[in-house]
Amino acid sequence: MKELIKELTEAFGPSGSEDVVREAIKKHIAGRVDKMRTDPLGNLIALKKGQAESGVEARKIMLAAHMDEIGVIISHVDEKGFLRFARVGGVYPLTLLGSRVVFADGSTGVIGREKPDKPTDFPTIDKMFIDVGAPDKEHLTRKVGDVASFVRPFVDLGKRLTAKAFDDRIGCAILIQTLLELKTTPHDVYFVFTVQEEVGLRGALTSAFGVEPDVAIALDVTTTGDTPEAHPMAVSLGAGPAIKVKDRGMLAHPGVKNWMANTAERLGLPYQFEVLERGTTDAMAIQTSRAGVAAGVISIPCRYVHSPSEMVDYDDVQNAVKLLVGLLSGPVEI
C-alpha cells in the first residue's frame, strides 16, 4: 500500500485541478467496481454493488475522500516577471517560506519574500511572490490563473510516513485499498472521490445530492495533540483510526459513531475518539444533503496538517482499512 500512497501524495491536485489524481485513482479501481462516472464538478463516483444476504438489510452507503489538496494560484505577473499569488484553501504563510511549488506542467517555482520592515514581522501572502527563474517578463510562460502545489517527495520513515497532501490522499488510498480487500458486501457502496473540499466541501455537496445515500462515511485526516507543547487534543499517532464525535462543522451521527466503535471492538482493532476544535470535512456537507444522511467520519491522525510535510502512522492507515472492510462486510447497525 505504500507504493499507492507515494503515487497519490506526489500527484498534482490543488482544489479545482484534480484531474491527475482522478486518473490515477481510476487506474487502480478499474475492473473492481460495477459502475464508474465523473460528475459535472469532477467528482469520481464508483459503485460496488451489494450481494443480497438473508437477514441483512441492504443500505446505500457513500464513502467519501477528497482528491484535492491546498495550493496557490497566480494573481498577478509583475513587470520583472515575479508572480504574486493567492491561496487555494488554507495555506499558512509560514509554511511557504523556503518552499518550492510545482505547476501542472511540472515546472518549478521558488517562494520569495519582500524585505520585512522588522525581522520579527510575520510573513503574509501579499508580501510574497513566486520566482520561476525567468530572466525577465518576456521569457515567462506562466500567467494569471495558473495553479501550483507544494513540492515534497514521499518518505517512508518506517512505522511513520511523511509527504505532502496526506490531507486527503491518505483517505483516497484507504478507499482504494478497501475496495481491493473487500470480498463481498450486502450493501450498494459508492466510493466517492470528491473535489474542492479545501475550498468549502463543494464536491461532497453535489456528489451527495447525486448519490442520495442512506449512510455516509468520510475518510479524512485530523490533527493530533501528541507533539511537544501541542494544543491539547486527545488524538495521537499510532493509537488507531480516530472515530469523529464532533468538529467545528458537524456532530457525527451517534448511531454511525457507535457502529464504528463496536465494529472496531469486535475486530480487536485499536481506535480513538476525535473531538476536533477547528476544521471540518466532507461529512458535514453530506449530512445535510437532501432530506439528511446519517454520516460519520473515520479520521487518520496526522501531524503538521496543511504543511508541505504532513506525517501519519502506517498502522493507523492499515487499521482504518480493516475497520472499513469490517463495516462494509456486515449489517449497518445504527
Partner 1 sequence: MLLKELSEAFGVSGHEGAVRQLILDEIKDLVDEHHVDALGNLIALKRGSLKARRKVSKVMLAAHMDEVGLMIMHIEKQGSLRFRPVGGIDARVLLATKVLIGDDKVPGVIGVKPIHLLEPKEREQVMRVQDMNIDIGASSKEEAERLVKISDYAAFDTSFSELGGALHTVKGKAFDDRAGCVVLVELLRESYPFDFYGAFTVQEEVGLRGARVAAYSIAPDIAFALEGTICDDLPKKRDISPTTTLGAGPAITIMDRSVIADRRLVDLLVDTAEKNGIPYQFKQPGLGGTDAGAIHLSREGVPSTVVSVPSRYIHSPVCMLSLNDLDNTVRLMREALGKVHELDLSRPQGF
Could you tell me the smallest distance in angstroms from the CB atom of residue 285 to partner 1?
9
Could you tell me the smallest distance in angstroms from the CB atom of residue 286 to partner 1?
13
Specify burial of residue 8 (Cβ count, 10 A radius: 0-12, 13-18, 19+): buried
Cell numbers standing for residue 46: 464508483
Active site residue 197: yes
3-state secondary structure of 25: helix
Contacts of 217 (CB under 8 A, 6+ apart): 61, 62, 63, 64, 256, 260, 283, 295, 296, 297, 298, 324, 327
Which residue do the cell numbers 520569495 mark? 112
In angstroms, the Cα distances linking 8 to 28, 47, 67, 146 are 11, 21, 9, 21
Could you tell me the smallest distance in angstroms from the CB atom of residue 38 to partner 1?
4
Which residue do the cell numbers 471540518 mark? 280
3-state secondary structure of 305: coil
Cell numbers standing for residue 25: 485513482
Which of 1, 75, 180, 258 binds partner 1 (CB under 8 A)? It is 75
Give 203 or 240: the residue with its C-beta nearer to partner 1.
Answer: 203
Which of 199, 245, 267, 269 binds partner 1 (CB under 8 A)? It is 199
3-state secondary structure of 96: helix
H/E stretch holding 156 reads strand 155-156
Stretch that binds partner 1, among 14-22, 176-184, 226-234, 292-300 (CB under 8 A): 14-22
Which of 8, 9, 11, 16 binds partner 1 (CB under 8 A)? It is 16
Report how far residue 298's alpha carbon sits from residue 268's, in angstroms, rounded to the nearest whole number. Answer: 16
Q: Is 1 in the site for partner 1 (CB under 8 A)?
A: no
β-pair type (215-222, 294-301) = parallel
Stretch that binds partner 1, among 23-31, 168-176, 179-187, 312-320 (CB under 8 A): 23-31
Q: Is 31 in the site for partner 1 (CB under 8 A)?
A: yes
Q: Is 180 in the site for partner 1 (CB under 8 A)?
A: no
Stretch that binds partner 1, among 1-9, 116-124, 197-205, 216-224 (CB under 8 A): 197-205
Could you tell me the smallest distance in angstroms from the CB atom of residue 290 to partner 1?
10
Give 204 or 312: the residue with its C-beta nearer to partner 1.
Answer: 204
Q: Is 15 in the site for partner 1 (CB under 8 A)?
A: yes
H/E stretch holding 119 reads none
Contacts of 191 (CB under 8 A, 6+ apart): 29, 33, 45, 46, 47, 48, 63, 175, 178, 179
Could you tell me the smallest distance in angstroms from the CB atom of residue 311 to partner 1?
28
Which of 8, 11, 13, 43 binds partner 1 (CB under 8 A)? It is 43
Give the number of residues in contact with partner 1, rule: CB under 8 A. Answer: 39
Q: Is 291 in the site for partner 1 (CB under 8 A)?
A: no
Q: Is 126 in the site for partner 1 (CB under 8 A)?
A: yes
Task: State the catalytic residues.
Answer: 197
Residues at the interface with partner 1 (CB under 8 A): 15-16, 19, 22-23, 26, 30-31, 36-43, 73-76, 78-80, 84, 86-88, 126, 144-145, 196, 199, 202-203, 205-207, 209-210
